[in-house]
Amino acid sequence: MSKLNNKAAIITGGGSGIGRAISELFAQEGADVHILDLNAEVAHPVVEGIVSAGGKAELHVCNVADQQEVTRIVNQIGRVDILVNNAGIAHVGNIEKCTAEDFDRVFAVNVRGAYNALHAVIPVMKANGGGAILNLASIAAVVGISDRFAYSMSKGAIYAMSLSIARDYMADNIRSNSISPARVHTPFVDGFIAKNYPGQEAEMFEKLSKSQPIGRMAKPEEIAKLAMFLCSDDAGFITGNDYPIDGGFIKLNN
């Protein structure tokens, strides 16, 4: 039997990168997938691919930083068994290179966006007898990463919010965990390298890959498999934890 059969799953930012891999795997495992994504052009083909493969998926064009919009969509969906807070943006720079506008933009999407989804979904899960929440944190929440001030701030908040939700809603049969990836090979990484290191793409890709002790970046599909386990009933005794998926970065990078 499929691991997520008949479960309704909301995946924010589910139209690209890690979110796409999670959306596709969850659908393969029987979930009714609801993708909340601002970029319809990117996300719509993902939904079409899932449906053409026999899965269930629906796109809700949504700015996760808009609380009213998120709440309206969650209420429209109705039953929610799984929430994956994946939507996020990056920022490169230390505090001197992080303007107030940069800080607010990262906070609005990465932190307030997760808050908005949690705020809307928790009452629905309580009414339905429980659920599973997974928040995408990062190794940047627990180790110092150069020139990632705003991004690290946002992922530290995600890490803390996950624990708070786990503690507050344990009696409501709501589990909350987070996962902390190291660098993952997504279109964002390719775009970042092309923009900042033109003509040195192959060299920089190799350098960034080797920054993980395991010698390569993660694949989005590898992150999705951990997400699927933590959101499935197989993980029914797991809550209030963060799981690094980092190729040895946190413990072995010395």
Pure H helices in 6-148 = 17-28, 40-52, 67-77, 100-106, 113-128
Read off the tokens for 99. 């303007």
Read off the tokens for 30. 């029987």
What amino acid occupies position 246? Answer: D
The backbone region for 129, taken as left when phi is positive above 0, alpha when psi lies in -120 to 50, beta otherwise, is left
What amino acid occupies position 118? Answer: L
Read off the tokens for 208. 């960034």
Question: How many whole angstroms separate alpha carbon 137 and alpha carbon 155?
Answer: 5
Helices first, then strands: H and E counts in the chain: 10, 7
* Secondary structure letter of residue 217 according to DSSP: P
- Check if the beta carbon of residue 98 is closer than 8 Å to that of residue 164: no
- Beta-carbon count within 10 A of 89 CB: 15
As annotated, the active-site residues are 151
Question: How many whole angstroms separate alpha carbon 56 and alpha carbon 54?
Answer: 7
Question: How many whole angstroms separate alpha carbon 63 and alpha carbon 138?
Answer: 22
